[in-house]
Amino acid sequence: MERLVRFRGFCLGFALSVGVVGCSSQYDTRQGIPPADPQVSQTLPKKEKEMAKKEYEKVVVRRANRSPIEGTIVHYEEFPSELIRVRPVNVWLPEGYDPASSDRYPVIYMHDGQMMFDHDTSPYAGMDVFWDVDKAITKLVRNGEIRPPIVVAVWMASWAKGARGAEYMPQKVVTDEVWQLLREQELGFAVEEGGQKLSADNYLKFIVHELKPFIDATYRTESDRGNTLVMGSSMGGLISAYAVAEYPGVFGGAACLSTDWRHGDGAVVRWLGRNLPSAGTHRIYFDHGTETYDAHYGPFQQQMDEVMRRRGYTPGEDWITLRFEGADHSPRAWRERLHIPLKFLLGTP
């Protein structure tokens, strides 16, 4: 059964009363955010709605009969940060989640969070552009194929052209030479439209030092490395692999779908060849299709596969790379195969 709890900032006392979370309201005071009235629905930013319509008006299909969300979504409209701009964060709790129980849950941190669940909190609500993470996980859990996780969906930066790329392009990869390549590729964040600068390092610091401590203090999580995972597609795949390399003691696994290795002509692959943690404590999933943008990824993924071998990873054990013939670069394609990385990262013995 679907439940939605909304917060602008935080209203933790209310959360405790409805049995979703339990923690002190001191977090509100420290961040200087007054408690929200939980009964007041928050409107979605007009800019987000306009952007969604412009980007997808030619390709989306409206869902006439949207099925309800499985599990519970807790929506934080303006999650505070001293490192990056505030933005919405959705926390998805699986069926049967009980804050009073002794159960603990692994956590998946997902990028492009506004596209994970077809819910009214998203500016894309009703469009056929969602991963339907709730449905994929619920089906696998009911079949006994994976452990039930908590999903933390961090919305993408969208306030200026190139803002998403500025947060998802692995920052330490970008030398002066790579920056010039990015400019030649005419990427929005590389020509600094809207005054954007690379901010991937602060984005990951936000997740590790601000968001994760809150999640672990508020929900019944397994907070260790082996149960802290990260997932994304396209440039979200880049930042997911980068997260494992930058914080190998925090993230124990990553799923990188349709990873866009083209940025900087494979510069991220070369950097990971020097900085990805050696095999033994991590699990990493890669895939790509063969159509649209994905048609260009094969040669770069082969280079990344060689990196994995050199770092000691074993195909089918702690690393998987899959190629999906006929699959394009779209949320629909990722939705269709989402069960595969979920089983790889969370599968039961």
Domain boundaries, the chain: 41-346
- Token representation of residue 39: 């009964």
Helix axes 267-275, 298-310, angle to 10 degrees: 10
Q: Mind listing the pLDDT tens digit for each residue in 139-151?
A: 999 999 999 999 9
Q: Mind listing the pLDDT tens digit for each residue in 93-103?
A: 999 999 999 99
Q: What average pLDDT score do residues 303-327 get?
A: 98
Q: Mind listing the pLDDT tens digit for each residue in 237-296?
A: 999 999 999 999 999 999 999 999 999 999 999 999 999 999 999 999 999 999 999 999
CATH number for the segment(s) 41-346: 3.40.50.1820
- Token representation of residue 190: 């590389």
- Token representation of residue 121: 């909190």
The Cα 222–Cα 46 span in angstroms is 37
Q: Mind listing the pLDDT tens digit for each residue in 8-53?
A: 544 333 233 233 433 322 222 223 222 222 222 233 345 444 544 4
Helices (H) and strands (E) in the chain, counts: 13, 9
* Confidence class for position 125, pLDDT limits 50, 70, 90: low
pTM for this entry? 0.82
The Cα 236–Cα 137 span in angstroms is 20
**Local structure of residue 277 (DSSP, 8 states):** P
Hey, how many other C-beta atoms are within 10 angstroms of the C-beta on 39? 7
Amino acid in the structure at residue 146: I
**pLDDT for residue 30:** 26
pLDDT higher than 90, residue 113: yes
Q: Mind listing the pLDDT tens digit for each residue in 52-66?
A: 444 333 333 444 456
Pairing relationship of beta strands 107-110 and 150-154 according to DSSP bridges: parallel
